[in-house]
């Protein structure tokens, strides 16, 4: 849609938009302003009409003609005031042609009536008609055709009134008509300029609004794109859980917090057992879905503050803030059970999945997650070696002693014996506790 009303191509001879929906929009936008302007113009005009009653009286005394004029003035002023009141309650009346034009018709008729009734001569009446003629253009927010029609009635009425009651010499008559014609032309041009100015401002405003809207939409789109990209950069596409990079960011934050507050932080490495066989027998699509289900099941037993990420392939990694090895073992057991508790139904295939989990605790003196992850990985490897579908942990130092004294399910004898059996195959350092279900 073209928006530059300043070049005039968009406007017709009335100074209105050729595009009628746009003109309607303009008029709707201007309604409150038009209504206010019309109300003020009507009140002022009513006052003026009544004020001229004083000059009627000074010229005519309390004659019958004065009474007729007074009745006319009161009628016109009353109709103006009533219309002003009506517009106050229903502003839409300001742009409805009928009420405004009826009031104008009444006022012009009243002014024409002064020609036969007032005794101060045609020239005074002529002056008041010139003032009324320009008022029609300037103060009544009407459309140009109605303004022209009102003025045509005024000039026609003047000619008839002069012919009937106050014949003028030809020169004076021509002079009067020229004067009225000039006033009409001047006012018409002024109104057209005013219309053009208002509409050009309105067009600029619309343009500005549409640019702002487009900008807002663009910003919104960019924000959404940014959010999508950020989400993609943090999320594993297949399983929907945190990806490896994001896991390390979050887990590193937790490690620093744990170090600062002196609270425990444990790590779990979770690996799906015999996953290669699932891919080989049922295909990668089934394997993909199985990974998604395993991730969802693991997530379902974790707290909101726990962090689970896809470490790579069929391996997941979990950081458990505020969890010592005992708590981590309980969580890992729940996790192992939730995976193997019921078979997976995927694309008509029933899979009995199990996971092996290696656990470690991040030591106070450690400045990165790597040693802890390595220990969890070694424990996981030990778990695989000892038959899979189990939870294995690598306690060290005081924690080992503590565990040995508090673990009722695993007697110290079993711990040592199992640890001894697993340790050489898994890694030479540290005792490991394979916790079979
Ligand atoms: N469908 C699918 N398979 C994957 C994905 N990532 C890794 N894998 C497969 O997972 C399998 C992992 O096999 P292995 O490392 O031998 O381990 P496994 O068969 O689970 O045996 P254990 O871990 O010793 O119990 C490989 O065949 C990989 O191709 C994946 O995103 N989707």
**Does residue 248 sit in the same domain as residue 144?**
no
221 within domain boundaries: no
Residues 187 and 260 in one domain: no
Looking at 164, 196, 213, the residue that finishes a domain is 213
Q: Does the residue 236 lie in any domain? A: no
Averages of pLDDT over runs of 10 residues in the chain (437 residues) are: 56 87 91 92 93 89 90 95 96 90 91 82 79 81 81 89 80 85 90 89 93 97 96 94 96 96 96 94 93 94 95 95 94 95 84 94 92 95 94 71 53 30 34 36
Same domain, 77 and 178: yes
Q: Which of 25, 14, 24, 18 is nearest to 210 (CA)?
A: 25
pLDDT of residue 88: 95
Look at residue 433 in the predicted model and tell me its pLDDT. 38
Atom number in ligand 1 closest to CA 272: 20
ipTM of the complex: 0.94
Give residues with Cβ within 8 angstroms of 23, minimum separation 6: 16, 17
Question: Could you tell me if 195 and 262 lie in one domain?
Answer: no
CATH number at residue 263: 3.30.70.270
Q: What number does the ligand 1 atom closest to the CA of 276 have? A: 19
Establish whether residue 315 lines the binding site of ligand 1, counting it when its CB lies within 6 angstroms of any ligand atom.
no
Nearest one of 335, 330, 344 to 389, comparing CA atoms: 335
Domain end call among 213, 229, 261: 213
Residues 163, 293 within the same domain? no
How large is the angle between the packed helices 97-117 and 64-89, nearest 10 degrees? Answer: 170
In a domain, residue 224? The reply is no
Q: Is the CB of 292 under 6 A from ligand 1?
A: no
Same domain, 263 and 383: yes
Q: What pLDDT, on a 0 to 100 scale, did the predictor assign at position 103?
A: 92
Q: Is residue 233 part of a domain?
A: no
The reply to whether 170 and 87 lie within a common domain is yes
Q: Please tell me whether residues 168 and 262 are part of one structural domain.
A: no
C-alpha 275 to ligand 1 mean position (Å): 5
Q: Ligand 1, atom 12: nearest CA belongs to which residue?
A: 276
Say yes or no: 159 and 304 in one domain.
no
205 φ/ψ angles, rounded to the nearest 5 degrees: -65, -45
Same domain, 256 and 200: no
C-alpha closest to that of 203 among 8, 35, 38, 36: 8
Count of structural domains within the chain: 2
Whether the CB of 381 sits within 6 Å of ligand 1: no
> What does the alpha-carbon distance between residue 73 and residue 57 come to, in Å, rounded to a whole number?
12
CA 78, 81, 85, 91 torsion: positive or negative? positive
Domain enclosing residue 170, as ranges: 5-213
Task: Kindly give the distance from the C-alpha atom of residue 314 to the centroid of ligand 1, in angstroms, as a whole number.
Answer: 5
Say whether both 276 and 178 belong to one domain.
no
Distance (angstroms) between ligand 1 centre and the Cα of 283 equals 12
From the alpha carbon of 287, which atom of ligand 1 is closest? Answer: 1
- 372 and 280 within one domain: yes
């Amino acid at each position: 849609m073209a928006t530059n009303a300043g070049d005039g191509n968009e406007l017709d001879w009335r100074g209105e938009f050729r595009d009628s929906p746009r003109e309607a929009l303009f008029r709707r936008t201007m309604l409150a302003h038009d209504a206010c302007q019309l109300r003020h113009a009507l009140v002022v005009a009513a006052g003026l009409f009544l004020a001229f009653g004083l000059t009627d009286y000074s010229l005519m005394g309390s004659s019958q003609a004065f009474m007729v004029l007074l009745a006319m003035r009161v009628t016109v002023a009353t109709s103006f005031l009533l219309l002003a009141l009506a517009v106050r309650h229903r502003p839409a009346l300001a742009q409805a042609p009928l009420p405004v034009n009826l009031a104008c018709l009444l006022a012009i008729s009243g002014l024409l009536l002064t020609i036969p009734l007032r005794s101060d001569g045609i020239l005074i009446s002529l002056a008041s008609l010139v003032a009324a003629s320009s008022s029609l253009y300037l103060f009544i927010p009407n459309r140009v055709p109605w303004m022209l029609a009102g003025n045509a009635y005024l000039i026609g009425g003047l000619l008839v009134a002069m012919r009937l009651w106050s014949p003028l010499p030809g020169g004076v008559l021509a002079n009067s008509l020229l004067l009225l014609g000039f006033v009409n032309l001047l006012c018409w041009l002024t109104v057209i300029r005013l219309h053009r100015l208002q509409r050009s401002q309105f067009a600029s405003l619309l343009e500005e609004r549409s640019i702002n809207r487009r900008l807002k939409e663009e910003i919104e789109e960019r924000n959404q794109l940014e959010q999508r990209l950020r989400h993609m950069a943090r999320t594993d596409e297949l399983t929907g859980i945190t990806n490896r990079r994001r896991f390390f960011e979050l887990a590193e934050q937790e490690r620093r917090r744990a170090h600062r507050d002196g609270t425990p932080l444990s790590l779990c490495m979770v690996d799906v057992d015999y996953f290669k066989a699932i891919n080989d027998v049922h295909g990668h699509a089934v394997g993909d879905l199985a990974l998604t289900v395993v991730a969802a099941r693991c997530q379902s037993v974790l707290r909101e503050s726990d962090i689970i990420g896809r470490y790579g392939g069929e391996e997941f990694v979990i950081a458990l803030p505020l969890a010592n090895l005992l708590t981590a073992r309980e969580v890992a057991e729940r996790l192992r059970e939730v995976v193997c508790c019921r078979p997976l139904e995927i694309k008509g295939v029933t899979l009995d999945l199990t996971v092996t989990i290696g656990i470690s605790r991040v030591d106070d003196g450690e400045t990165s997650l790597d040693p802890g992850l390595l220990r969890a990985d070694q424990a996981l490897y030990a778990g695989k070696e000892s038959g899979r579908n189990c939870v294995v942990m690598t306690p060290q130092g005081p924690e080992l002693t503590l565990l040995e004294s508090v673990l009722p399910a695993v007697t110290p004898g079993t711990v040592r014996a199992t640890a001894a059996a697993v340790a050489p195959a898994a890694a030479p350092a540290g005792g490991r506790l394979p916790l079979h279900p």
